[in-house]
Chain A
Amino acid sequence: MSRDLSYNAVMARRGEIMKKALGLEYDEFIQSDIAFDYEGMMEKAGYSLEEVREIQKQSGVGNTPLLELTNITKLVRKTSKKGYGAKILLKDEAANPSGSFKDRRASVSVYHAKKLGYPGVLAATSGNYGAAVASQANMADLGCIVVQEVFDSRRVGQPEIIEKSRKCEAYGAEVIQLTVGPELFYVSLLLLEETGYFNASLYSPFAISGVETLGYELVEQTRARYGKDPAYVVVTHAGGGNVTGTARGVRKAGANSKIIGASVDLTGLHMASDDDFNKKSFTTGHTGFGVPFATWPDRTDVPKNAARPLRYLDRYVLVTQGEVFYVTEALAQVEGLERGPAGNTSLAAAIALARELPEDEIVVVQETEYTGAGKHPQAQLDFARRNGVEVMRGEPKQNVPGKVIAIPEEFSQLTFTEVDLDRMKTSYIRNAVTRNNVARVTQEELEFLAEDTNSTPEFVSSVLQNLGVQV
C-alpha cells in the first residue's frame, strides 16, 4: 500500500494517525468546538495518583530529596526588609534516572504504551523529555525514537540541544535531528505511521498525571519536616505540563499554596525563525513556549491538551537569561549543587519572591535538572558570544533577548517582572473563539472558558462582549 507522504496529505490525516498512536478516544470528552470535559478526561484516561506512585516506584522515578537552601536563604534575608525572606526549599529532580522531572511524565506514557502492546514510543522534543522517554523505554524493553529540532540552516546547534541528542543516543534511542521549523510535527506523524509506535506526547493525560506526584511529594515532605505547607510553589513554565501536573498534585495533597509560574523572558525572538534560533541562550523554560501554550494549549500533538496552565497559575513572572545564569552559578558556589541552567529559572524567580514573605514562610522551587557538557552556563554563554550576543555584568533590565545578556552585579538586583494574567486569559478566550471560528458561545461553553482560565463567567462575558461574540 503506498501512501501519499507529502506535507499536505500527512497533515490532512493527522487526526487518524494521532488516534492510532495514542490509543485514546478523545471524542467522548469533547462537548463542542470550545468545551470539553477536562476532569472527565483526566480521570478516565489518566492514572490515579496511587497508580502513578506505583508505576514510578517500579521505574525508579520520584521520591526525590527536598533540600533546604540555607545559604541562599541567608542571602535572601540579607537583601530583604527586616523579618522578611522566606525559607527556600529545592526539590532535587535531577535525582531521577535520566536527570530531570521529565522522567515522571515519561514513566506513565511508557507504562501505558507497554500495557497497550505498542512496539515502541516516539517523542517529539528537544528537551530533557527525550532522554526521559529513552531511559524509561529501555526499562520497559520498548523501541524509542526522539525527534528533535537541533540545527539552523548552517548546521549550527545550541550546545544544550546537542547534549540532549547525545543523551538520547547514549540510551540507544534513534534520534532524528532536524533543522528549525514547526514541520517537526509532520516528521513525527510520518514516523508514527511507519513504525506503529506510541506517541509519548508531553501533553497526554498520561504524561500530566505523571507530574502530579511531584506536587504531592513536595507538600508531604514540607509538612513532615516543617509542619506547614509552602506559601509559594514556584514552577518553571514552558509548555504548561510542569505547572499543571504540579498544581494538581499540590491540590490533591490538600495544600492551598500559591502556584507561581516562572519563565525566562525571550520576548522578540521568533521560535520558528532560522535566524533567531541560535540567538536564544535558553532552549526551554522561556516565554516562546510559556505564553503561546498558556493562551492556546490545543496547539500540540494531541486533540485536547491535558496541560492547561491558566487553570492553575495564581501568578506568572518573568526573569532574564542573565539572572538564571547568575543563580545557577550561585547554586553551585554557595549550596554545592551543580544543576541546570534552564531548570533554575524558577529558582531565580523564587529568590525575589521569597523577599515578599515573612521569614517563617516557605517557598518551594519544584525542580532541578542535570548539568552536562553543553548544558552549562559556560558553554551557553560562550555560544551566545560566538553568535553575536554581548555578555556583561549589569542590571537585569539591561538584558535584551538575542542581543545582551547581563549577569547581575549584586545578589540584591535579582528580581522578576509580573505578567498580567488577565491579559493572558483574555488572549486565551480570543483564541478559543477565533480559532474555532464561532460567532456565539453557549452557556455551557462560557462556563468552560471560565473554568479553563480560572476566572468567572462575568469576566468571560465581558471579554466576549469586547470581541463582539454573543452568548
Chain B
Amino acid sequence: MSKTCKQGEWVEVHYVVLTPEERSPDVPEDTKKVPLECWVKGWALSSGTVGEPIEIRTPANRVVKGTLTRVNPGYTHSFGPSVPELLPVGQELRAMLKEDE
C-alpha cells in the first residue's frame, strides 16, 4: 500500500475522540484504560504521508482532521477457512432425511 497520498485520493484517517481521562464514568475498568478512537474515510484535501496529520472531506461533506492511516483503504475480511466441526452437518442431515424412506 502506498505510504503517500495525493490531494483528492480516497484515504482513511484516525483520531482520538476521548482520552482515558475524558471517558464516560460508566465504562468498565478495562475500557477506561484505553482511549475512544475513531477511523473515518474521505478524500484527501492535500498530499500527505502515512503517520502525518492531514485533512479530508468526508462523504457527508464534513472536513475532518486526523492522522493518515491508509491510502485507497480496502477490505480484507473473508469467508474464512472451512470449519471441520460444521463440514459434516449437511451429510448427517441428508442421511437422516433418507431414513425410513
Residues of B within 8 A of A438 (CB): none
Check if B75 sits within 8 Å of A379, measured CB to CB.
no
Instruction: Report the interface size for chain A: residues with CB under 8 A from the other chain.
Output: 63
Residues of B within 8 A of A151 (CB): 37, 39
Query: Bound complex: CA of A175 vs CA of B10, how far in Å?
Result: 14
Query: Bound complex: CA of A378 vs CA of B78, how far in Å?
Result: 9
Residues of A within 8 A of B78 (CB): 159, 373-374, 379
Name which of A241-249, A272-280, A441-449 contacts chain B.
A272-280
Check if B80 sits within 8 Å of A330, measured CB to CB.
no
On whether A179 and B36 interact (CB within 8 A), knowing A75-B97, A273-B31, A381-B85, the answer reads yes
Q: Scan B43-85; emit 1 where CB is below 8 A from any A CB, else 0.
A: 0000000000000001111100000000000010111111101
Tell yes or no: A71 within 8 A of B by CB: yes
Tell yes or no: A376 within 8 A of B by CB: yes
Check if A71 sits within 8 Å of B22, measured CB to CB.
no
Interface residues of B in 73-101 (CB under 8 A from A): 75, 77-83, 85-86, 89-90, 92-94, 96-97, 99
Query: Bound complex: CA of A272 vs CA of B59, how far in Å?
Result: 29
Query: Bound complex: CA of A151 vs CA of B77, how far in Å?
Result: 13
Check if B83 sits within 8 Å of A382, measured CB to CB.
yes
CB distance from B55 to the nearest CB of A (A): 15
Interface residues of A in 365-402 (CB under 8 A from B): 373-374, 376-383, 391-393
Check if B85 sits within 8 Å of A180, measured CB to CB.
no
Check if B89 sits within 8 Å of A407, measured CB to CB.
yes
Check if A376 sits within 8 Å of B79, measured CB to CB.
yes
Check if A181 sits within 8 Å of B77, measured CB to CB.
no
Tell yes or no: A226 within 8 A of B by CB: no
Query: Bound complex: CA of A391 vs CA of B82, how far in Å?
Result: 13
Check if B59 sits within 8 Å of A75, measured CB to CB.
no
Which residue of chain B has its CB nearest to the CB of A157? B77
Tell yes or no: B2 within 8 A of A by CB: no
Check if A378 sits within 8 Å of B97, measured CB to CB.
no
Tell yes or no: A183 within 8 A of B by CB: yes
Tell yes or no: A326 within 8 A of B by CB: yes
Query: Bound complex: CA of A179 vs CA of B39, how far in Å?
Result: 9
Check if A7 sits within 8 Å of B18, measured CB to CB.
yes
Which residue of chain A has its CB nearest to the CB of B39? A177
Check if B97 sits within 8 Å of A181, measured CB to CB.
no
Q: Scan A140-160; emit 1 where CB is below 8 A from any B CB, else 0.
A: 000111000011010100010
Tell yes or no: A421 within 8 A of B by CB: no
Check if A377 sits within 8 Å of B83, measured CB to CB.
yes
Tell yes or no: A103 within 8 A of B by CB: no
Interface residues of A in 242-297 (CB under 8 A from B): 270, 272-275
Query: Bound complex: CA of A407 vs CA of B75, how far in Å?
Result: 29
Which residue of chain B has its CB nearest to the CB of A168? B59
Check if A330 sits within 8 Å of B93, measured CB to CB.
yes
Which residue of chain A has its CB nearest to the CB of B22? A7
On whether A273 and B28 interact (CB within 8 A), knowing A71-B97, A169-B41, A325-B86, the answer reads yes
Query: Bound complex: CA of A178 vs CA of B36, how far in Å?
Result: 7
Query: Bound complex: CA of A64 vs CA of B1, how far in Å?
Result: 42
On whether A78 and B22 interact (CB within 8 A), knowing A179-B34, A272-B27, the answer reads no
Query: Bound complex: CA of A195 vs CA of B78, how far in Å?
Result: 34
Check if A183 sits within 8 Å of B59, measured CB to CB.
no
Check if B77 sits within 8 Å of A379, measured CB to CB.
yes
Query: Bound complex: CA of A377 vs CA of B23, how far in Å?
Result: 34
Residues of A within 8 A of B90 (CB): 329-330, 332-334
Nearest 7 A-B pairs (CB), nearest first?
A333-B90, A382-B80, A379-B80, A374-B77, A378-B80, A153-B34, A174-B60
Residues of A at under 8 Å CB distance from B?
Answer: 6-7, 71, 74-75, 78, 120, 143-145, 150-151, 153, 155, 159, 162-163, 166, 169, 172-183, 186-187, 194-195, 197, 270, 272-275, 325-326, 329-330, 332-334, 373-374, 376-383, 391-393, 407, 411
Task: Show 24 A/B contacts (Cβ-Cβ < 8 Å), sorted by A.
Answer: A143-B59, A144-B59, A144-B60, A153-B37, A155-B37, A173-B60, A174-B60, A177-B38, A179-B37, A183-B17, A183-B27, A187-B17, A197-B60, A272-B31, A273-B28, A330-B93, A333-B94, A373-B77, A379-B77, A382-B80, A407-B85, A407-B86, A411-B93, A411-B96
